[in-house]
Structure 1
Amino acid sequence: MIVLGIETSCDETAAALVTADRRVLANVVLSQLDDHAPYGGVVPEVAARAHLQHLDRLVRQALAEAGVGLGQVDAIAATAGPGLIGGVMVGVMTAKAMAAVRGLPFVAVNHLEGHALTARLTDDVAFPFLLLLVSGGHCQLLAVEGVGKYRRLGTTIDDAVGEAFDKSAKILGLGYPGGPLMEQAARRSTDPGRFDLPVPMKGRPGCDFSFSGLKTAVRRQVELLGGSLTDADVADIAAAFHKAVGDSLLDRCAHAIKQFKQDHPTGRTLVVAGGVAANQILRGRLQDLARRHGFGFVAPPLKLCTDNAAMIAWAGLERLRLGQTDGLDFAPRPRWPLDGTAKAAPFAGVKA
């Protein structure tokens, strides 16, 4: 079986082909970074226009790289939410049109499920497993019990960790996207213990996250320094930021591991996925935490942490094997929680 995947939920336009035996035949990603960098963040209308301009070409490129014709494709999967609705609509309508013309099954994929199941594509991780999903728009801990079967253990009550990276980087004058630039700055620090930033939610019950206060603490530290920062100041604050984020993630994950062990005695794998999973500093600390608790640790290759279509094709393939396809009347969704039974996070409820 071969599935064509399409991803257009944010600021990457992507197409990929994946097989049932876990081979990625092609994975083409066009970043819109240069289009959005002048604005310090993603502009939805700019993103949607770029998807519309480039998606057809990228699908053709993916097919050519894979050496596959549309006649050999068994289904077409597309991110149908959550995300910037204009971009999501571009991908969904393209996939529906191709499916209709070719008489192929259409699979509407939850973007978050794409991230969640990537570890099964790369490492064939068995269910159940514990997932830390960390990206620009999402920060959740989930028990992954099967395809379409997710139980949320914790979520952010305000900002996602990726958003905190981006906004803190902007405060420090590092530019966009903030995650990679903050990591580079932190690695240049010669005095990582110079600043003491608060660790959000540490020691509190449960598995929820909060990063708004940490972002504010970075701004206050910059103000205390008079607003004019040296390279050393930026590097040391970035290092302190990483330590605070890492301490928070480890504290929350430790709570989740304890709960997960009680509910799923056979599950012994911690998976980290999403764009922030590409951060090597945080990845190393999470791997150490998993080892201390007797868990295996899986994080996708860096190119499969950020948004891509291979994960969408794979999630579509997993659903296709279970007979889970969608009609051409499926409506794109700007919000689409993995655990539809979970209550909204206190004080927020906006990061589904």
Structure 2
Amino acid sequence: MPTVLALETSCDESAAAVVRDQRVLASAVASQVEEHARYGGVVPEIASRRHVEALPGLVEQVMAESGLAYGELDAIAATAAPGLVGALLVGSVMGRSLARLHGKPFLGVHHLEGHLCSVHLGEPLPPGPYLVLLVSGGHTEMIRVDGPGAYGRLARSRDDAAGEAFDKVARLLELGYPGGPAIQAAAAGGDPRRFPLPKGRVSLPEGGFHPYDFSFSGLKTAVLRLVTQLRAEEQAGGGPGGSAPFPLADVAASFEQVVADVLVQRTTRCARDQGLGTLVMVGGVAANRRLRSGMEQRCRELGLEWRVAPLAYCTDNAAMIGVAAEQRLRQGARSAIRLAVAPRLALEEAMRLYDTQAPF
């Protein structure tokens, strides 16, 4: 039962956790949301500085809560790719320093592999292979998982990730950052079918459309046009107190519904076409209530096994990085102590993080 101290600093969440045999012994996250909200998105330089300030205290906290000494750890892990390069460096340098100081193996972990492993922190999974919908602020992908480290991407977004679309639409609606929770709150009580919005499709060179791939940039543009039209009508009707008040809840609900519909329809179709009986959903957008409800209902109708990462581990956290590191440890993997970081690295290249000679 390997025990791992894991660090996560790929974007704007500083996190540390101690994990043993897919159980969280201690976990702590320092969010930077309030600071970045004033800019409407993550400012990389600020994120890096805040990681430097927060991470040492988080490590001290989780080690104390776990009741373990460094000598009882089997390895130390940190996210090495992909992400904001400055942010990644903070966690990587600290993880490698602690590993060398305490004579422990170091593992650099692929952030997306961490998300794939987050589901193991909840209910046990049926035997694989299975299909994962990874849906977050930076990624929207369907990935076939045949076993630990055995991944194959079946679909992706060709432009904005779903979480990125939530952030941009929230900005249009002046709801603040991050967009997912803000739109979910604004959509409460709204009519999700009032405004028909486009379900972006990806054309194929030979004609027709890709059956699974996503596109959300056209949806964002459609919402922009709708908002412009509705605000003009509001102004013509005499403003918020006039005859045409801006229907914020209906717009938010309509946007949220079409994103959920697209994700549910294409993912369940892919699972059926690929003969995969289990569907898993992970990532920050997996916390959205409308999406979770729609996916659960459709999987029940189709007889698919359904799993979703626990709410506490949908957004970026270090526990999922620890579980991914555990899996790699069981395979005998180690990272070179000189391993740097990669802001861009495909999941299919994750094994490069465990080359005996650091690839970067």
**TM, length-normalised to structure 1:** 0.91
Any conservation in 1 of the 2:192–2:255 contact (CA below 8 Å)?
A: no
The answer to whether 1:333 aligns with 2:317 is no
Q: Is the 8 A contact 2:264 2:291 kept in 1?
A: no
Query: 1:173 and 2:169 equivalent?
Result: no
Q: Which residue of 2 aligns with 1:241?
A: 255
Q: CA deviation at 1:53?
A: 1.1
Alpha-carbon distance between aligned partners in 1 of 2:5 and 2:69, rounded to the nearest angstrom: 11
User: 1:279-290 alignment to 2 at 5 Å?
Assistant: 279-290=288-299
CA positional deviation for 1:74: 1.0
| Deviation digits for residues 262-297 of structure 1 (CA, Å, limit 9, x no counterpart) | xxxxx4211000000000110110111222222111
The equivalent of 2:268 in structure 1 is 254
Q: Which residue does the alignment assign to 1:269? A: 278
Partner of 2:347, secondary structure, is: coil
Task: Please say if 1:64 is aligned against 2:78.
Answer: no
- Which ranges of 4 or more aligned residues in structure 1 deviate by more than 4 Å? 227-232
**1:340 to partner: Cα distance:** 4.3
Q: How far apart are residue 149 of structure 1 and its match? A: 1.2
Moved more, 222-231 or 56-65: 222-231
Q: What is the one-letter code of the residue matched to 1:124?
A: P
Once the two structures are TM-superposed, the CA of residue 120 in structure 1 deviates from its matched residue by: 2.2
Question: Following the alignment from structure 2 to structure 1, what is the Cα–Cα distance between the partners of residues 79 and 114?
Answer: 8
- 1:221 aligned partner: 226
Amino acid of the residue matched to residue 33 of structure 1? V
Tell me the secondary structure at the aligned position of residue 16 of structure 1. Answer: strand
- Shift in Å, 1:247: 1.7
- Corresponding residue of 2:213: 208
Distance apart, 1:232 and its partner CA: 5.8
Matched-pair contact (CA < 8 Å) for 1:136–1:161: yes
Q: Distance in 1 between matches of 2:147 and 2:80?
A: 20
2:123 matched to which residue of 1? 123
CA distance in 2, matches of 1:257, 1:241: 25
**Matching of residues 88-237 of structure 1 within 5 Å:** 88-125=88-125, 126-189=127-190, 191-201=191-201, 204-226=209-231, 233-237=247-251
In the alignment of these two chains, the number of paired residues is: 334
Contact 1:148–1:338, Cα closer than 8 Å, also in 2: no
Name the SS of the counterpart of 1:225 in structure 2: helix
Name the amino acid aligned to 2:267: C
> What is the aligned partner in structure 1 of residue 328 from structure 2?
319
Q: State the secondary structure of the residue aligned to 2:201.
A: coil
The answer to whether the 8 A contact 2:257-2:290 is kept is no
> Over residues 313-346 of structure 1, what are the superposed CA-to-partner deviations in whole Å (9 max), with x where a residue is unaligned?
11101110111111112121101211349xxxxx
- SS state of the match for residue 226, structure 1? helix
Q: 8 Å contact 1:201–1:248 — kept in the other structure?
A: no
Give the Cα separation in 2 of the matches to 1:185 and 1:54. Answer: 32
The structure that has the greater radius of gyration is 2
Give, in whole Å, the separation in 2 of the partners of 1:246 and 1:98.
Answer: 42
Measure, in 2, the Cα distance between the counterparts of 1:34 and 1:177. 9
3-state DSSP of counterpart to 2:142? strand
2:205 alignment partner in structure 1? none
CA separation in 1, counterparts of 2:348 and 2:61?
35
Q: Secondary structure at the match of 1:4?
A: strand
Name structure 1 gaps, 5 residues minimum. Answer: 262-266, 342-352
Q: Is the 8 A contact 2:230 2:246 kept in 1?
A: no
* Residues 1:19 and 2:20 aligned together: yes
Q: Please report how far the alpha carbon of residue 226 of structure 1 lies from its aligned counterpart in structure 2 after TM superposition.
A: 2.6
Any conservation in 1 of the 2:121–2:310 contact (CA below 8 Å)?
Answer: no
- Counterparts of 1:127 and 1:30 in 2: how far apart (Å)? 34
**Secondary structure in 2 matching 1:123:** coil
Structure 1 residue 3 displacement after superposition: 0.5
Counterpart residue identity of residue 136, structure 2 = S
Q: Distance in 2 between matches of 1:140 and 1:239?
A: 23
303-312 vs 199-208, greater mean Cα deviation:
199-208
Partners of 1:137 and 1:122 lie apart in 2 by 23
CA contact (8 A) 1:81 1:109 kept: yes
